Amino acid sequence: MRYRQLGSSDLQVSEISLGSWLTYGVGVDAENAAACVHRALDLGINLIDTANIYGRGAAESFLGAVLSGVRRDRYLIATKLFFPMTETDRGLSRAQVEKQLDASLKRLRVDTIDLYQCHRHDPETPIEETMLALSDAVKAGKVRCLGFSEWPADQIQAALEVAGAEKFVSSQPQYSLLWRRPERDIIPLCRDNSISQIVWSPLAQGVLTGKYLPGAPPPPDSRATSDEMNGFIDRLMQPSVLEAVQRLKPLAAEADLSLGQFALAWVLKEPNVASAIIGASRPAQVEENAAASGAVVSPDLFTEAERIMAEALA
Protein backbone atom coordinates (compact mmCIF):
# COMPACT_ATOMS: atom_id res chain seq x y z
CA MET A 1 0.00 0.00 0.00
CA ARG A 2 1.26 3.47 -0.94
CA TYR A 3 0.51 6.58 1.11
CA ARG A 4 0.03 10.25 0.25
CA GLN A 5 0.05 13.41 2.33
CA LEU A 6 -3.43 14.78 3.02
CA GLY A 7 -3.35 18.43 1.99
CA SER A 8 -1.42 20.67 4.36
CA SER A 9 -1.96 18.29 7.29
CA ASP A 10 0.56 15.92 8.84
CA LEU A 11 -1.62 12.91 7.97
CA GLN A 12 -0.36 10.24 5.60
CA VAL A 13 -3.34 8.40 4.14
CA SER A 14 -3.46 5.16 2.19
CA GLU A 15 -4.14 5.55 -1.54
CA ILE A 16 -7.11 3.24 -1.08
CA SER A 17 -9.47 3.93 1.81
CA LEU A 18 -12.49 2.05 3.10
CA GLY A 19 -15.92 3.66 3.10
CA SER A 20 -19.19 2.75 4.81
CA TRP A 21 -21.85 4.53 2.75
CA LEU A 22 -24.90 2.25 2.29
CA THR A 23 -22.91 -0.74 3.53
CA TYR A 24 -21.71 -1.15 7.11
CA GLY A 25 -24.41 -1.05 9.70
CA VAL A 26 -26.97 -0.97 6.87
CA GLY A 27 -26.69 -3.21 3.78
CA VAL A 28 -23.93 -5.70 4.64
CA ASP A 29 -24.23 -8.33 7.37
CA ALA A 30 -22.09 -7.65 10.42
CA GLU A 31 -19.79 -10.66 10.01
CA ASN A 32 -18.79 -9.83 6.44
CA ALA A 33 -18.53 -6.13 7.25
CA ALA A 34 -16.17 -6.80 10.16
CA ALA A 35 -14.08 -9.10 7.99
CA CYS A 36 -13.76 -6.33 5.39
CA VAL A 37 -12.56 -3.82 7.98
CA HIS A 38 -9.95 -6.16 9.43
CA ARG A 39 -8.72 -7.24 5.98
CA ALA A 40 -8.37 -3.58 5.00
CA LEU A 41 -6.21 -2.90 8.04
CA ASP A 42 -4.09 -5.98 7.31
CA LEU A 43 -3.48 -4.69 3.77
CA GLY A 44 -2.28 -1.31 5.03
CA ILE A 45 -5.46 0.68 4.44
CA ASN A 46 -5.39 3.22 7.25
CA LEU A 47 -8.22 5.63 6.35
CA ILE A 48 -11.78 4.62 7.19
CA ASP A 49 -14.53 6.98 6.11
CA THR A 50 -18.04 7.23 7.51
CA ALA A 51 -20.71 9.82 8.40
CA ASN A 52 -23.26 10.32 11.14
CA ILE A 53 -26.08 10.07 8.58
CA TYR A 54 -25.05 6.62 7.34
CA GLY A 55 -27.75 4.48 8.89
CA ARG A 56 -28.50 7.42 11.21
CA GLY A 57 -25.54 6.53 13.38
CA ALA A 58 -25.50 2.79 12.61
CA ALA A 59 -22.31 2.89 10.52
CA GLU A 60 -20.42 4.86 13.18
CA SER A 61 -21.64 2.52 15.93
CA PHE A 62 -20.62 -0.52 13.89
CA LEU A 63 -17.14 0.87 13.26
CA GLY A 64 -16.76 1.87 16.89
CA ALA A 65 -17.44 -1.70 17.94
CA VAL A 66 -15.23 -3.33 15.29
CA LEU A 67 -12.29 -1.00 15.88
CA SER A 68 -12.51 -0.97 19.67
CA GLY A 69 -9.80 -3.61 19.99
CA VAL A 70 -7.54 -2.15 17.31
CA ARG A 71 -4.50 -0.05 18.20
CA ARG A 72 -5.45 3.59 17.60
CA ASP A 73 -2.32 4.35 15.57
CA ARG A 74 -3.31 1.74 12.99
CA TYR A 75 -6.20 3.72 11.56
CA LEU A 76 -7.46 7.21 10.80
CA ILE A 77 -11.18 7.79 11.22
CA ALA A 78 -13.03 10.30 9.07
CA THR A 79 -16.67 11.19 9.62
CA LYS A 80 -19.08 13.94 8.61
CA LEU A 81 -22.06 16.05 9.67
CA PHE A 82 -24.78 18.07 7.95
CA PHE A 83 -27.73 15.88 6.95
CA PRO A 84 -30.77 15.55 9.28
CA MET A 85 -30.30 13.20 12.20
CA THR A 86 -33.73 14.13 13.60
CA GLU A 87 -36.50 16.50 12.56
CA THR A 88 -34.63 19.35 14.23
CA ASP A 89 -30.97 18.28 14.14
CA ARG A 90 -29.29 19.19 10.89
CA GLY A 91 -26.88 21.67 9.34
CA LEU A 92 -23.59 23.27 10.36
CA SER A 93 -24.50 25.71 13.12
CA ARG A 94 -22.23 25.94 16.15
CA ALA A 95 -24.82 24.08 18.21
CA GLN A 96 -24.97 21.27 15.66
CA VAL A 97 -21.20 21.03 15.29
CA GLU A 98 -20.86 20.60 19.04
CA LYS A 99 -23.79 18.20 19.41
CA GLN A 100 -23.08 15.99 16.40
CA LEU A 101 -19.34 15.86 17.07
CA ASP A 102 -19.86 14.62 20.61
CA ALA A 103 -22.39 12.03 19.38
CA SER A 104 -19.98 10.78 16.70
CA LEU A 105 -17.12 10.53 19.19
CA LYS A 106 -19.31 8.43 21.47
CA ARG A 107 -20.51 6.09 18.71
CA LEU A 108 -17.00 5.69 17.29
CA ARG A 109 -15.54 5.12 20.79
CA VAL A 110 -12.61 7.47 20.20
CA ASP A 111 -11.34 10.63 21.89
CA THR A 112 -10.36 12.33 18.64
CA ILE A 113 -11.68 12.23 15.08
CA ASP A 114 -8.82 12.47 12.62
CA LEU A 115 -10.80 14.15 9.85
CA TYR A 116 -14.11 15.91 10.49
CA GLN A 117 -15.93 16.84 7.31
CA CYS A 118 -18.86 19.07 6.41
CA HIS A 119 -21.01 16.71 4.36
CA ARG A 120 -22.52 19.57 2.35
CA HIS A 121 -22.51 23.36 2.50
CA ASP A 122 -25.14 24.88 4.80
CA PRO A 123 -26.68 28.00 3.22
CA GLU A 124 -28.63 28.72 6.40
CA THR A 125 -25.56 29.18 8.62
CA PRO A 126 -22.94 31.92 8.24
CA ILE A 127 -19.68 30.41 7.06
CA GLU A 128 -17.85 32.21 9.91
CA GLU A 129 -19.99 30.44 12.51
CA THR A 130 -19.29 27.03 11.01
CA MET A 131 -15.57 27.49 10.56
CA LEU A 132 -14.97 28.97 14.01
CA ALA A 133 -16.99 26.20 15.66
CA LEU A 134 -14.94 23.60 13.79
CA SER A 135 -11.74 25.43 14.72
CA ASP A 136 -12.71 25.32 18.39
CA ALA A 137 -13.17 21.55 18.05
CA VAL A 138 -9.61 21.29 16.76
CA LYS A 139 -8.29 23.46 19.59
CA ALA A 140 -10.15 21.27 22.10
CA GLY A 141 -8.41 18.17 20.73
CA LYS A 142 -11.64 16.53 19.57
CA VAL A 143 -10.66 16.84 15.90
CA ARG A 144 -7.28 16.77 14.17
CA CYS A 145 -8.14 18.08 10.69
CA LEU A 146 -11.07 19.51 8.75
CA GLY A 147 -12.59 18.70 5.38
CA PHE A 148 -15.72 19.10 3.29
CA SER A 149 -17.70 17.12 0.73
CA GLU A 150 -19.34 18.45 -2.42
CA TRP A 151 -19.03 22.15 -1.61
CA PRO A 152 -19.30 24.76 -4.39
CA ALA A 153 -16.08 26.58 -5.23
CA ASP A 154 -17.27 29.97 -3.97
CA GLN A 155 -18.05 28.58 -0.53
CA ILE A 156 -14.71 26.78 -0.34
CA GLN A 157 -13.04 30.11 -1.04
CA ALA A 158 -15.21 31.86 1.56
CA ALA A 159 -14.23 29.30 4.20
CA LEU A 160 -10.55 29.78 3.42
CA GLU A 161 -10.93 33.51 4.02
CA VAL A 162 -12.44 33.27 7.52
CA ALA A 163 -9.95 35.03 9.79
CA GLY A 164 -8.56 32.97 12.63
CA ALA A 165 -10.12 29.71 11.40
CA GLU A 166 -8.47 26.37 10.77
CA LYS A 167 -8.03 25.61 7.07
CA PHE A 168 -9.62 22.70 5.26
CA VAL A 169 -7.15 19.98 4.23
CA SER A 170 -9.48 17.70 2.29
CA SER A 171 -12.30 17.67 -0.22
CA GLN A 172 -14.51 14.63 -0.79
CA PRO A 173 -16.07 14.76 -4.26
CA GLN A 174 -17.58 12.13 -6.46
CA TYR A 175 -14.93 11.47 -9.11
CA SER A 176 -14.45 8.69 -11.63
CA LEU A 177 -14.15 7.95 -15.33
CA LEU A 178 -17.93 8.39 -15.35
CA TRP A 179 -17.98 11.64 -13.33
CA ARG A 180 -15.22 14.14 -14.04
CA ARG A 181 -16.91 17.36 -12.96
CA PRO A 182 -14.40 18.15 -10.14
CA GLU A 183 -11.70 18.70 -12.76
CA ARG A 184 -13.35 21.94 -13.85
CA ASP A 185 -13.28 24.06 -10.68
CA ILE A 186 -12.77 22.02 -7.50
CA ILE A 187 -9.45 20.31 -8.17
CA PRO A 188 -7.71 23.50 -9.42
CA LEU A 189 -8.96 25.53 -6.45
CA CYS A 190 -7.96 22.83 -3.98
CA ARG A 191 -4.56 22.35 -5.59
CA ASP A 192 -3.84 26.05 -5.14
CA ASN A 193 -4.80 25.88 -1.45
CA SER A 194 -3.09 22.65 -0.33
CA ILE A 195 -6.37 20.72 -0.13
CA SER A 196 -6.37 17.08 -1.24
CA GLN A 197 -9.20 15.05 -2.73
CA ILE A 198 -10.54 11.94 -1.01
CA VAL A 199 -12.70 10.55 -3.79
CA TRP A 200 -16.03 8.81 -3.26
CA SER A 201 -17.56 6.41 -5.79
CA PRO A 202 -14.36 6.01 -7.86
CA LEU A 203 -15.87 2.79 -9.25
CA ALA A 204 -19.26 4.42 -9.91
CA GLN A 205 -20.93 2.12 -7.38
CA GLY A 206 -19.42 -0.94 -9.02
CA VAL A 207 -20.36 -0.09 -12.61
CA LEU A 208 -16.69 0.44 -13.50
CA THR A 209 -15.82 -3.10 -12.40
CA GLY A 210 -17.62 -4.37 -15.48
CA LYS A 211 -19.85 -6.77 -13.56
CA TYR A 212 -23.04 -5.23 -14.95
CA LEU A 213 -23.53 -6.44 -18.52
CA PRO A 214 -25.71 -4.61 -21.04
CA GLY A 215 -29.00 -6.39 -21.62
CA ALA A 216 -28.48 -8.80 -18.71
CA PRO A 217 -29.90 -8.78 -15.18
CA PRO A 218 -27.42 -7.67 -12.50
CA PRO A 219 -25.64 -10.36 -10.47
CA PRO A 220 -27.85 -11.50 -7.56
CA ASP A 221 -25.37 -10.44 -4.86
CA SER A 222 -24.58 -7.02 -6.33
CA ARG A 223 -25.40 -3.53 -5.09
CA ALA A 224 -27.91 -3.06 -7.91
CA THR A 225 -30.12 -5.83 -6.51
CA SER A 226 -30.00 -4.62 -2.89
CA ASP A 227 -32.92 -2.49 -1.71
CA GLU A 228 -30.67 -0.98 0.97
CA MET A 229 -27.86 -0.02 -1.43
CA ASN A 230 -29.27 0.56 -4.93
CA GLY A 231 -30.98 3.92 -4.53
CA PHE A 232 -28.40 5.89 -6.53
CA ILE A 233 -27.25 3.43 -9.17
CA ASP A 234 -30.06 3.59 -11.75
CA ARG A 235 -28.64 6.57 -13.62
CA LEU A 236 -25.41 4.64 -14.19
CA MET A 237 -27.07 1.53 -15.58
CA GLN A 238 -27.80 2.91 -19.06
CA PRO A 239 -27.03 0.48 -21.93
CA SER A 240 -24.64 2.91 -23.65
CA VAL A 241 -22.64 3.29 -20.44
CA LEU A 242 -22.53 -0.43 -19.71
CA GLU A 243 -21.44 -1.16 -23.28
CA ALA A 244 -18.66 1.42 -23.03
CA VAL A 245 -17.44 -0.06 -19.77
CA GLN A 246 -17.07 -3.45 -21.45
CA ARG A 247 -14.87 -1.80 -24.08
CA LEU A 248 -12.46 -0.81 -21.30
CA LYS A 249 -11.66 -4.43 -20.43
CA PRO A 250 -8.95 -4.92 -23.08
CA LEU A 251 -7.25 -1.73 -21.88
CA ALA A 252 -7.20 -3.00 -18.30
CA ALA A 253 -5.92 -6.37 -19.47
CA GLU A 254 -3.08 -4.68 -21.34
CA ALA A 255 -2.12 -2.98 -18.06
CA ASP A 256 -2.33 -6.37 -16.32
CA LEU A 257 -5.10 -5.09 -14.06
CA SER A 258 -8.71 -5.97 -13.42
CA LEU A 259 -11.15 -3.38 -14.72
CA GLY A 260 -11.84 -2.16 -11.18
CA GLN A 261 -8.13 -1.75 -10.49
CA PHE A 262 -7.74 0.12 -13.78
CA ALA A 263 -10.55 2.54 -12.84
CA LEU A 264 -8.99 3.16 -9.42
CA ALA A 265 -5.56 3.69 -10.96
CA TRP A 266 -7.13 6.26 -13.30
CA VAL A 267 -8.41 8.24 -10.29
CA LEU A 268 -5.06 7.97 -8.52
CA LYS A 269 -3.15 9.34 -11.51
CA GLU A 270 -4.42 12.79 -10.46
CA PRO A 271 -1.75 14.19 -8.08
CA ASN A 272 -4.36 16.15 -6.11
CA VAL A 273 -6.12 12.89 -5.16
CA ALA A 274 -4.82 11.55 -1.85
CA SER A 275 -7.10 8.54 -1.59
CA ALA A 276 -9.93 6.72 -3.37
CA ILE A 277 -12.71 5.38 -1.15
CA ILE A 278 -13.91 1.86 -1.90
CA GLY A 279 -17.00 0.10 -0.64
CA ALA A 280 -16.82 -3.63 -0.06
CA SER A 281 -19.16 -6.36 1.10
CA ARG A 282 -16.55 -9.15 0.99
CA PRO A 283 -12.85 -9.23 1.98
CA ALA A 284 -11.92 -10.40 -1.52
CA GLN A 285 -13.19 -7.09 -2.91
CA VAL A 286 -10.96 -5.20 -0.48
CA GLU A 287 -7.97 -7.27 -1.59
CA GLU A 288 -8.58 -6.68 -5.28
CA ASN A 289 -9.11 -2.94 -4.90
CA ALA A 290 -6.14 -2.46 -2.57
CA ALA A 291 -3.90 -3.88 -5.29
CA ALA A 292 -4.59 -0.78 -7.41
CA SER A 293 -2.30 1.24 -5.14
CA GLY A 294 0.97 1.92 -6.91
CA ALA A 295 -0.20 0.53 -10.25
CA VAL A 296 1.78 1.84 -13.22
CA VAL A 297 -0.33 2.34 -16.34
CA SER A 298 0.62 3.75 -19.73
CA PRO A 299 -0.92 7.22 -20.21
CA ASP A 300 -2.06 6.11 -23.67
CA LEU A 301 -4.37 3.53 -22.11
CA PHE A 302 -5.95 6.14 -19.86
CA THR A 303 -6.37 8.51 -22.81
CA GLU A 304 -8.22 5.83 -24.78
CA ALA A 305 -10.39 5.01 -21.76
CA GLU A 306 -11.34 8.68 -21.41
CA ARG A 307 -12.24 8.84 -25.11
CA ILE A 308 -14.48 5.75 -24.87
CA MET A 309 -16.34 7.01 -21.83
CA ALA A 310 -16.72 10.56 -23.15
CA GLU A 311 -18.24 9.17 -26.33
CA ALA A 312 -20.73 7.08 -24.36
CA LEU A 313 -21.70 9.92 -22.02
CA ALA A 314 -22.19 12.36 -24.87
Residues identified as active-site: 54
> What DSSP string describes the chain?
--EEE-TTSS-EEESEEEE-TTSBTTTB-HHHHHHHHHHHHHTT--EEE--TTTTTTHHHHHHHHHTTTS-GGG-EEEEEE-S-SSSS--SS-HHHHHHHHHHHHHHHT-S-EEEEEESS--TTS-HHHHHHHHHHHHHTTSEEEEEESS--HHHHHHHHT-TTPPPEEEE--B-BTTB-GGGTTHHHHHHHTT-EEEEB-TTGGGGGGT-S-TTSPPPTTSGGG-TTT-TTTGGG--HHHHHHHHHTHHHHHHTT--HHHHHHHHHHTSTTEEEEEE--SSHHHHHHHHTTTT----HHHHHHHHHHHHHHH-
Q: Which long-range contacts (CB under 8 A, 24 or more apart) does 226-229 make?
A: 226/27, 228/22, 228/26, 228/27, 229/22, 229/23, 229/26, 229/27
d(CA 63, CA 295): 29
CA 142 to chain centre: 21
